A and B are shown apart, each in its own frame.
Chain A
Amino acid sequence: MLSPLGEAGVMIRLGDAISDEVHRRVISICTWLEERPFPGMVELVPSYASVALFYDPMVIAVSTRSAAEKGESGISPYQHVCRMILARLEMLEDSVHNQSRTVVIPVCYGGPFGPDLEYVARENGLTPVEVVAIHTSGDYLVHMIGFAPGFPYLGGLSERIATPRRATPRLKVEAGTVGIGGEQTGIYPVATPGGWQCIGRTPLKLFRPEHDQPSLLQAGDRVRFEAITEQDYMEWKEGEG
């Protein structure tokens, strides 16, 4: 279950498939370890089926040295970190579950904000209105945040609106754009090149460097999309500053 990620990381693997069950374990282990840090632990990164724990080998070396001085046999910083993790996971209570939040993301679909909405509809034999109805009826799970700051990997897109990526990626996709890439859906937090089908845009800021929680969404959150008008979008955007 544990394996090294370089000299300053341990990968805790919990499965090899995307599932709600594995996801729940990822989040509960992450929360559990976060609440029980040990000296030298730096940060945790949850993903689909693993948690990466990063540590400071220098701080760990001090701990292992003092253990060696007490007569315990010398172990490497990696082994020491593994022991700390296993000791904590042994105590992991089944009752640990995260209180998952549901975040509603307002989206102005189609038009200039969603130039690929028509295409997604055509590809799936639907009308644009039906695509929006399906997209807003889903309950999505945030498996992890990564790739770019604040970028959520969302699970739960209906197969009825799954659409392959664009043959040629756009050179610039605006911040807030909601896209579909194969069987995934997601939101671009910052302007970047991108190959997903753009179906709408949210006025919410997904990456807010000035906040303590710079990413609006966190792994474990649930997301619902809500259709808004262009006027709503403009007003919201003004409110967001």
Chain B
Amino acid sequence: MRMEVIRPGLLSTVQDEGRYGYRRHGVHPGGVMDTFAARAANMLVNNSRNAAVLEMTMTGPELRFHENSLIAVCGADLSATVDDHPVPLWRPVGLLAGSVLKFGRCRSGLRAYLSIAGGIVVNEVMGSRSTDLKTGIGGLEGRALRTGDILSAGEASCEAQAMLHPLLEQVKLEKTRMKAPIWHLSSREWPLYQLEPVIRVMPGADISKFTKGSLERWYSERYVIAPQSDRMGYRLEGSRLELERPMSRLSEAVTYGTVQVPADGQPIILMADHQTIGGYPVIAQVASVDLPVLAQARPGTRVAFQPITREEAQRLFFEQERGLQLSAAFIRRRLAETGER
């Protein structure tokens, strides 16, 4: 299965769940920013959870499919269409060979994920297919998509192929180029990509070093995501956060969701492509259930932060995980049913 890039969009990169085991070499895990949407997209086309997908930011690409394909688009709504017909999100979609998938205006969220049955095939670097723009490794030569690139997918699973055939039969009958089944991933399961999200955070290692007033402001006021935010970090603008007294702190490991506060008092949330070691005081750590929500927040978004305990964060994470596993079982059953017909 091949897919040709007619227009690359603002920033479209090949990503999987990340590059683990190399942080001690200074290599961040990277990988998809919205782990939920990417995983859902893979589930819907019966891929393994770590299959490589396309992460498309803000302005999506235009892609021509050279063969019949089963795809899914999850996450942000970038007005995906095939022949001017809207492509439904959060469900599998069968496409006829020659179809052109176009993305347009960003209606909600920031990053959309495109999965293809079989997964995008590129060479693995350090155990991952994720593109790392900073070091130029992974994905397509470590860079974002360009016009004329050809992406190949691996072989679709039997279940995905069995799902695709009846959809394409329908396509022929209806004289269209694309068909989705009526079922989809329940909206109850999606993370809420709100306009003014409330992000739950756990206390960070240096929280006790901040002034009482700073902590009150941190939890009661909204912070705006600054324009210079990217896959490495989100810079926030808002009330200045101050330390009780200046502290010098040794640099140590940081991770996705760590909230650092440099001397100017404006917090920075480390995202998927964060540096591995940081030296600024850490005020908080974003609960992992809310990282997908944050990943979908655009520059200019007003964010509020709400404290939760680590136990609570872990409980929410397991709940989300259970939901995803139930959805996966449901999808497998649906795929099997479609295949039998």
List the interface of chain A (C-beta within 8 A of B). Answer: 3-9, 11, 16-18, 42-50, 52, 54, 57-58, 61, 76-78, 144-151, 153, 189-190, 207, 209-210, 213-215, 218-219
Of all chain B residues, which has the CB nearest A53?
B253
Across the interface, do B257 and A214 meet the contact criterion of CB distance under 8 Å? no
Task: Decide if B105 is an interface residue (CB 8 Å cutoff).
Answer: no
Across the interface, do A9 and B135 meet the contact criterion of CB distance under 8 Å? no
B residues 224-257 with Cβ under 8 Å of A? 250-253, 255-257
Report the minimum CB–CB distance from A16 to chain B (whole Å).
Answer: 7
Across the interface, do A45 and B257 meet the contact criterion of CB distance under 8 Å? no
Across the interface, do B27 and A214 meet the contact criterion of CB distance under 8 Å? yes
Report the minimum CB–CB distance from B299 to chain A (whole Å).
Answer: 21
Indicate with 1 or 0, residue by residue over B14-49, a CB within 8 angstroms of chain A CB atoms. 000000111111110000000000000000000000
B residues 310-332 with Cβ under 8 Å of A? 310-311, 313-314, 317-318, 321
What are 8 pairs between A and B in contact, CB < 8 Å? A5-B258, A5-B285, A7-B310, A16-B250, A76-B311, A144-B251, A146-B23, A210-B125
Residues of A within 8 A of B276 (CB): 45, 146-147
Residues of B within 8 A of A209 (CB): 125-126, 135, 137
New contact pairs (11) apart from A49-B250, A54-B255, CB-CB < 8 Å: A5-B285, A7-B287, A11-B252, A18-B250, A45-B277, A58-B321, A76-B311, A144-B277, A147-B277, A150-B26, A210-B125
Across the interface, do A45 and B205 meet the contact criterion of CB distance under 8 Å? no
Count residues of B near A (Cβ-Cβ below 8 Å): 37
**Known: A11-B252, A47-B277, A49-B250. Contact between A145 and B24, CB under 8 A?**
yes
Report the minimum CB–CB distance from B20 to chain A (whole Å).
Answer: 6
Give the residue among B25, B275, B276, B317 with the most A Cβ atoms within 10 A.
Answer: B25
Across the interface, do A57 and B253 meet the contact criterion of CB distance under 8 Å? no
Residues of B within 8 A of A8 (CB): 255, 288
Task: Decide if B202 is an interface residue (CB 8 Å cutoff).
Answer: yes
Across the interface, do B275 and A147 meet the contact criterion of CB distance under 8 Å? yes
Complex formed: what's the CA distance from A88 to B24 in Å?
Answer: 20
**Known: A11-B252, A215-B26. Contact between A43 and B20, CB under 8 A?**
yes
Across the interface, do B23 and A43 meet the contact criterion of CB distance under 8 Å? yes
Indicate with 1 or 0, residue by residue over B111-150, a CB within 8 angstroms of chain A CB atoms. 0000000000000011000000011010000000000000
Across the interface, do B252 and A149 meet the contact criterion of CB distance under 8 Å? no
Complex formed: what's the CA distance from A44 to B125 in Å?
Answer: 20
Report the minimum CB–CB distance from B253 to chain A (whole Å).
Answer: 3
Across the interface, do A11 and B20 meet the contact criterion of CB distance under 8 Å? no
Across the interface, do A57 and B285 meet the contact criterion of CB distance under 8 Å? no
Across the interface, do B24 and A43 meet the contact criterion of CB distance under 8 Å? yes
Residues of A within 8 A of B27 (CB): 149, 214-215
Complex formed: what's the CA distance from A215 to B37 in Å?
Answer: 32
Complex formed: what's the CA distance from A224 to B203 in Å?
Answer: 41
Report the minimum CB–CB distance from B327 to chain A (whole Å).
Answer: 16
Across the interface, do B137 and A43 meet the contact criterion of CB distance under 8 Å? no
Complex formed: what's the CA distance from A10 to B174 in Å?
Answer: 56
Report the minimum CB–CB distance from A81 to chain B (whole Å).
Answer: 11
Cβ contact of A45, chosen from B23, B288, B318, cutoff 8 A: B23
Of all chain A residues, which has the CB nearest B21?
A43
Of all chain A residues, which has the CB nearest B314?
A7
Across the interface, do A50 and B318 meet the contact criterion of CB distance under 8 Å? no
Residues of A within 8 A of B125 (CB): 209-210
Residues of B within 8 A of A58 (CB): 321
Complex formed: what's the CA distance from A49 to B255 in Å?
Answer: 17
Cβ contact of B257, chosen from A6, A18, A46, A147, cutoff 8 A: A6
Across the interface, do B314 and A77 meet the contact criterion of CB distance under 8 Å? yes
**Known: A4-B202, A146-B277, A209-B125. Contact between A48 and B24, CB under 8 A?**
no
Across the interface, do A48 and B25 meet the contact criterion of CB distance under 8 Å? no
Across the interface, do A6 and B255 meet the contact criterion of CB distance under 8 Å? yes
Across the interface, do A190 and B250 meet the contact criterion of CB distance under 8 Å? no
Across the interface, do B253 and A5 meet the contact criterion of CB distance under 8 Å? yes
Complex formed: what's the CA distance from A57 to B26 in Å?
Answer: 23
Complex formed: what's the CA distance from A49 to B250 in Å?
Answer: 7
Report the minimum CB–CB distance from A171 to chain B (whole Å).
Answer: 15
Cβ contact of A42, chosen from B21, B257, B321, cutoff 8 A: B21
Report the minimum CB–CB distance from B248 to chain A (whole Å).
Answer: 10
Report the minimum CB–CB distance from A54 to chain B (whole Å).
Answer: 7
Complex formed: what's the CA distance from A150 to B253 in Å?
Answer: 15
Complex formed: what's the CA distance from A148 to B25 in Å?
Answer: 8
Of all chain A residues, which has the CB nearest B313?
A7
Of all chain B residues, which has the CB nearest A217?
B25
Report the minimum CB–CB distance from B263 to chain A (whole Å).
Answer: 15
Complex formed: what's the CA distance from A49 to B253 in Å?
Answer: 11
Across the interface, do B251 and A57 meet the contact criterion of CB distance under 8 Å? no
Across the interface, do B253 and A147 meet the contact criterion of CB distance under 8 Å? no
